[in-house]
Amino acid sequence: MEEQEKQPEQTDVLASTQKIIKKALDKLGYPDEMYELMKEPIRMLTVRIPVRMDDGSTRIFTGFRAQHNDAVGPTKGGVRFHPNVTEKEVKALSIWMSLKAGIVDLPYGGGKGGIICDPREMSFRELERVSRGYVRAISQIVGPTKDIPAPDIFTNSQIMAWMLDEYSRIREFDSPGFITGKPLVLGGSHGRESATAKGVTICIREAAKKKGIEIDGARVVIQGFGNAGSFLAKFMYDAGAIVIGISDAYGALHDPEGLDIDYLLDRRDSFGTVTKLFKKTISNEELLELDCDILVPAAIENQITEKNAHEIKASIVVEAANGPTTMEATRILTERDVLLVPDVLASAGGVTVSYFEWVQNNQGYYWTVEEVEGKLEAVMVDSFDNIYKLSRTRKVDMRLAAYMIGVRKMAEASRFRGWV
Ligand code: GLU
């Protein structure tokens, strides 16, 4: 906690999100009470999870589940496993999920979970035990009509499967709609694994049209080689773009002629690590400043800040990660006429297909990959257009426009319910 309180405001993701929410609600003409309701999650659970480790010792892990606002419907959002997870971060992430749901018009509010742990240093069985322990600890506040978890950083379909199994055992009935991002055989949806990257790809294409840039031949830099970054590199590469830089948590690779993405995908491990195999690497900081047309931060928070925003060469920045750009950096990039597609729009493809998965689970009838991708395409194009237009007509940056659209439905629903 002390650590969190010392955090400078610039990189305090919760404080900056609250500021933008306030601005968005002011622009839309809502009273202060609405901001008071929305500045924090309505529910925040902290749990301690005892886990028997493979060596016989017991470790107690701390986990969180935040539910931001359930006026529109059940809350929804991923669970991340990461050593840097904090309560504040999970709160901010739950608010961002509410905004994403508002932007792509899903019948959900936002939720988010996290466990402070490092899965890179844990065995398969230890991961299973922590996943099951987490579900036991939060089982009372989650469920297919309450709060629906999903994957996030360092969690995947196997972890969703364990969590589903634990939940079904506790409830004593099969409940595939409890969680999304499941393996196909357990009620997962076609297209879910690549959905975030598909959504980002659509945003890149739409942004490129606005800037008069051809994707074929465009130079792209992607920070992060996890779920979003790796699929995105492949989609860009296949579309004829030249991916000149990629990175993971340990460093970055750069080749002005274009990297061999198929080879890198083949060599990456399940945590998205690949740079350790190479002698000649550059730093993540250097990667962000490379000369390119399109930059995609697809890793973690606070990567583009007031320190490096002036050095960004790309004319389009599309945020596949949650919270990669600070408020001050957003201002600098917008002033420099860089087209910034904010996280709450760009990364909303994941939760959109999660919603499709939940709908398929509820109806017990499953769609083809073409159906899923066709619906995702329509949703993303519409959402991009709405935000782009609003940012032009109201003369606000893309992030504020996205927040204005993102909070609107939730604010209306809270009002109809008589909360504010
Ligand atoms: N964790 C992803 C996100 O941040 C997906 C959430 C979901 O599918 O519910 O958007």
Ligand 1 centroid – CA 248 distance (Å): 20
CA-wise closest residue to 221 among 252, 185, 179: 252
Residue 11 confidence (pLDDT): 81
> Whole-model pTM?
0.96
CB atoms inside a 10 Å sphere around CB 11: 13
**Token pair belonging to 88:** 């504040």
Amino acid in the structure at residue 349:
G
What does the pLDDT read at residue 1?
39
Question: DSSP of 44-67, one letter per residue?
Answer: EEEEEEEEE-TTS-EEEEEEEEEE
Condensed to tens digits (0 to 9), the pLDDT of residues 214-245 reads 999 999 999 999 999 999 999 999 999 999 99
Task: Determine whether 112 is an active site residue.
Answer: yes
**pLDDT value at position 6?**
53
Which residues does 155 contact at the CB level (< 8 Å), separation at least 6? 78, 79, 80, 81, 119, 181
22-52 pLDDT per residue, tens: 999 999 999 999 999 999 999 999 999 999 9
Domains and CATH numbers, the chain: 40-175 (3.40.50.10860), 195-346 (3.40.50.720)
Q: Which of 72, 150, 146, 151 is nearest to 105 (CA)?
A: 72
Task: Please tell me the predicted confidence (pLDDT) of residue 58.
Answer: 98
Mutate to test the pocket of ligand 1, among 65, 203, 354, 376 (most ligand atoms within 8 A of CB): 354
Q: What gap in Å lies between CA 400 and CA 203, rounded to an integer?
A: 17
Q: Cβ(347) to ligand 1 under 6 A?
A: yes
**Token digits of residue 280:** 């000649």
The two tokens of residue 334 are 């917008």
Per-residue pLDDT tens over the stretch 159-195: 999 999 999 999 999 999 999 999 999 999 999 999 9
- What percent of the chain is predicted at pLDDT more than 90? 97
**3 pLDDT above the threshold of 60:** no
Beta bridge partners of 254: 245
Does 150 sit in the ligand 1 pocket, CB within 6 Å? yes
Going by their DSSP bridges, the two strands 109-116 and 58-67 should be labelled as antiparallel
Res. 7: pLDDT tops 90: no
Per residue in 90-101, pLDDT tens? 999 999 999 999
The mean of the pLDDT values for the chain is: 96
Kindly state the tokens that stand for 305: 């800040």
